Amino acid sequence: MQPGGMVRRSQAADSSLRESTQELFETSEAQIRYRAYRSEYRRYEAYSRLQAAAVAMGESLAIPEIVAIGGQSDGKSSLLEAFLGFRFNVREVEMGTRRPLIVQMVHDPTAQEPRCRLQEEDSDEYGPPIVPETAVADAIQRRTEDHLRKMGGIAVSSKPIVMRAEYAYCPNLTIIDTPGFILKAKTGELDNTPDEIMSMVKAQASPPHRMILFLQQSSVEWASSLWLRVVQEVDPYFQRTVIVASKFDNRLKEFAERWEVDKYLSATGYLPPNVRPFFVALPKDRVIQSSAEWRRSMTEVDTAIYKHMRDGIKGGFDEERFVSRIGFSNLKKFLEEELSRRYREAAPATLALLQERCDAVSSELMAAEIRLKSAEDVGALRRAAMRYADTVARQVVSLLQGSAEPDPMQHGLTTDEERAASRAPQWPGVSGASVQPLHHDSKLFGGAAFERCLEEFHMAVAHTRFPTSMSNDRLRNIMYAYKGKHHNGGAAKAAEDIARQAAKEALGPLLDAACVRLAFILRRLFDIAADRAAATMGSKDNLHPYISFHAALRSAHQSFISRLEEQARGMLRTHLEAATSQFAMNMYAHLPDPGDPLDVEGEEDGDADGAAEDAEVLNERLKAVQLGGGVGAPGGPGRFEDNTPSRRATKSRRVALQNAGGMGGMLAGGGASSSSDDVVSASEALFRKIRLAVATQYAPATLKSTFLDPMTDRLGLEVSLELFARSDGDFGAMFSAAGAVAALAAKRDMLARRVEGLIKCKNEFQELAKCL
């Protein structure tokens, strides 16, 4: 329903009200009062409609408002009933405890019975009158419970309920009633409910255009007020706060002499001099049924308060200072006049604000129209999608090459976090606690995380050991088989076969784990790149409703990385086969035993045990071992050269090699002296040579060339081929997902309603400004 319907009904009601009320003002003086009343009424109606439209459209407009805050038992609900002039049993159902309630009171002399209507959710239209008025609280409670349930069972909600009350005995006044502060959640509520209420009430009271009506029981001393400190947090100098001491009749019984009551009323030393509290008492008899009895009782309570202060207190009280601050009628008059004054002063600024919002929302509407038209143009969609996909790919490359823009605390992972999130939480056969690369506790992503993972892989390989125990049956099968085939080298061939199988079993899973970890690092870059692409070019805003397209783009990236992972795994297995081939075994025969990278040479007394070296030293030592010829090394391509002076086998192993001219020579004889221990020792030496070749040569170069080079050179092309090399029909299917175009159309329609409502409010304020 359009906002104009509400305006037309209001205009009809306005005409009826004018005809009815003119009969009440017949003299010239009465006519002057009538014109003042009409001007005040029109101004209040304009602001009330603007407020209702702002709530419905989600606008935040700085229009004068009153927000009531206080503890749950400080009398806010009773005060609200007093302003309305009728009862609706609000206490019995705790009507306003979980959502703000905007009560728009309209003084209508023709309404001898209250007409209360609730504004529909997400609309500026009001529902039918609630009859009888005592059912208002139940209706508000049902709406509150339905809304909280719809929001997922939350404890409180800041979305207000708007109630319009037209009555001959209520003032032109709008009050926002908020949930009362509590110290402990009720049974069945979440434990954080008091904090949620506190946060929501502060948010309601914080806008500077809102007056704060703070209620506190008069029995609470000024110095020990718990909730007064909350008011000071949002209004430190009480410049827009009206303090009301409720249930004043309870405190009045404690005063016997004038100085006592004057001291309390002045609050000297507790409140700033500019703060003048009101002191209010309301009827306590909950048996009162009719609205007339309720209003009469309020008048009687005010009269009884004045009488007691004049006659029941010795010396009375300082009436000149305090009489205008005592009683509900004075509070009502003050708030009505103060809100009216603020309305008059804010009218020019409100008109300017409405013009500004009309222009801004109109621009949003034009942009929504353009986006909706683009959504129906496949060619435009294809161009926008290609630009966005290309931007994402370039952002991925930028992250791999190094970028300081994304926040590492938001996007980076430590080594432990990376392990836990990937499909390879541990290095196979290696204790995770012993593999901690440099900067393992830093949050890295992209190229930095890739390099750190390679260092971690080096360390994991360095921790890999030749199996300390081997099945005797397996060993005998190998040795006897080779003895029969190779009479002059059977033991050496057996050692090669054992080393070959041990290297495949130990290093193969490590290579697979490295592929998994590096692929995980690359997959994480998509979300970071997508966010950066949206920030740099804004295309994601245009394509945001098309969930299928974003899913397809993500899938294309992940599929490309999965293909790279499979290629890397295959190439590493091929290199492992090459490193364990017979040709490689022949080359290993001319190389010294590199030993275990983590072993440290023992002392001269023969101690062969050592502590693990620092990670940085280990990496440097591993990198110093190169493939290729060199001085003093056997000639020919692909041979090993150890450039590290300190790279030697452990002392015990060197002594064993020196005996009988080295293990190789001993095994070459193939005699009976070639025991199983000799074969295992030779196999272990070959295993270390294979491990060195794989860790320092084959794996790092292959992982970089298989992952990083294609990501830099082919990512954009591969993704584009998968996404855009298709017919318009197939391509358009990604943009015709359920709700995509409908969401854009709904947003366009919502903006159109907002523009129409704001323009109507602006026109009304323009007419109103002529009367001011």
DSSP assignment of 605-650: T-----PPPPHHHHHHHHHHEEES--TTSPPSTT-EEE--TT----
Q: Cα separation of 48 and 173, whole Å?
A: 9
Q: Which of 492, 408, 472 is nearest to 442 (CA)?
A: 408
Element (H, E) at 308: none
Cβ pair 617, 600 in contact under 8 A: no
Same domain, yes or no: 351 and 465: no
Kindly tell me if the per-residue pLDDT of 109 is higher than 90.
no
- Per 3-state DSSP, what percentage of the chain is helix, strand, and coil (rounded to 5)? 60, 10, 30
| Average pLDDT for 412-418 | 86
**What would the two tokens of residue 238 be?**
């009480």
Three-class DSSP category at 219? coil
In a domain, 487, yes or no: yes
Q: pLDDT at position 433, please?
A: 61
Name beta bridge partners: 212: 67, 241
| Average pLDDT for 454-480 | 74
Q: Please name the residue that has the structure tokens 């509070």.
A: 331
Q: Cα separation of 384 and 386, whole Å?
A: 6
Q: Determine what percent of the chain is predicted with pLDDT higher than 90.
A: 16
Name beta bridge partners: 450: none
**What are the Cα distances from residue 319, in Å, to 219, 279, 280, 310, 689?**
22, 13, 16, 9, 104
Q: Cα separation of 255 and 264, whole Å?
A: 9
At position 444, the amino acid (one-letter code) is L
Which CATH number do you get for residue 280? 3.40.50.300
Q: Cα separation of 285 and 36, whole Å?
A: 37
| Average pLDDT for 375-380 | 66
Q: Which of 413, 388, 383 is nearest to 523 (CA)?
A: 413
Q: Please name the residue that has the structure tokens 């440097």.
A: 620
Same domain, yes or no: 24 and 169: yes
In a domain, 445, yes or no: yes
Same domain, yes or no: 419 and 339: no
**What are the Cα distances from residue 556, in Å, to 43, 440, 501, 523?**
60, 31, 38, 11
Q: Please name the residue that has the structure tokens 């001011």.
A: 772
Same domain, yes or no: 93 and 202: yes
Q: Cα separation of 144 and 138, whole Å?
A: 10
Q: Please name the residue that has the structure tokens 């029109």.
A: 42
Kindly tell me if the per-residue pLDDT of 275 is higher than 60.
yes
**What are the Cα distances from residue 383, in Å, to 114, 309, 380, 388, 753?**
60, 81, 5, 9, 31
Of 201-205, 382-386, 496-500, 741-745, the range with the lowest mean pLDDT is 741-745
Q: What's the pLDDT tens digit per position in 731-769?
A: 766 766 545 667 778 888 888 888 888 888 788 777 766
Three-class DSSP category at 117? strand
In a domain, 110, yes or no: yes
Q: pLDDT at position 660, please?
A: 35
Q: Please name the residue that has the structure tokens 């992250």.
A: 399
The H helix count followed by the E strand count for the chain is: 31, 10
Dihedral of alpha carbons 52, 58, 64, 67, sign: positive
| Average pLDDT for 589-595 | 77
In a domain, 384, yes or no: no
Same domain, yes or no: 443 and 549: yes
| Structural domain harbouring 190 | 3-355+756-771
Q: Cα separation of 322 and 265, whole Å?
A: 7
Same domain, yes or no: 271 and 185: yes
Q: Which of 286, 252, 271 is nearest to 77 (CA)?
A: 286
**What are the Cα distances from residue 499, in Å, to 53, 153, 681?**
81, 64, 10
In a domain, 365, yes or no: no
One-character DSSP codes across 41-97: HHHHHHHHHHHHHHHHHT------EEEEEEBTTSSHHHHHHHHHTS---HHHHTTTS
Q: Determine what percent of the chain is predicted with pLDDT higher than 70.
A: 74
At position 364, the amino acid (one-letter code) is E
| Average pLDDT for 134-141 | 86
Backbone φ and ψ for 737, nearest 5 degrees, come out as: -65, 155
Q: Which of 712, 743, 323, 281 is nearest to 541 (CA)?
A: 743
Enter the pTM of the model. Answer: 0.51
Three-class DSSP category at 177? strand
Q: Cα separation of 513 and 509, whole Å?
A: 6
Same domain, yes or no: 479 and 602: yes
Q: pLDDT at position 538, please?
A: 56
Same domain, yes or no: 263 and 409: no
Show the CA angle centred on residue 712, arms to residues 711 and 718, nearest 5°: 55
Average pLDDT, the chain: 77
In a domain, 760, yes or no: yes
Kindly tell me if the per-residue pLDDT of 9 is higher than 70.
no
Q: Cα separation of 50 and 42, whole Å?
A: 12
Residue 661 DSSP code: G
Q: Using only C-alpha atoms, what is the Rg of the chain? A: 42
Kindly tell me if the per-residue pLDDT of 198 is higher than 50.
yes
Q: What's the pLDDT tens digit per position in 283-315?
A: 887 665 688 888 899 999 999 999 999 999 999
Same domain, yes or no: 393 and 256: no
Same domain, yes or no: 39 and 166: yes
In a domain, 722, yes or no: yes
In a domain, 377, yes or no: no
Same domain, yes or no: 154 and 277: yes
Q: Cα separation of 201 and 91, whole Å?
A: 19
Domain count, the chain: 2
Q: Cα separation of 316 and 262, whole Å?
A: 9
Same domain, yes or no: 673 and 609: yes
| Average pLDDT for 685-699 | 83
Counting every residue written for the chain, the total comes to 772
Name beta bridge partners: 71: 181
Q: What's the pLDDT tens digit per position in 10-62?
A: 454 455 545 444 444 455 665 666 566 666 677 777 777 777 666 666 667 77
| Average pLDDT for 240-255 | 92
Give the number of other CB atoms < 10 A from CB of residue 695.
22
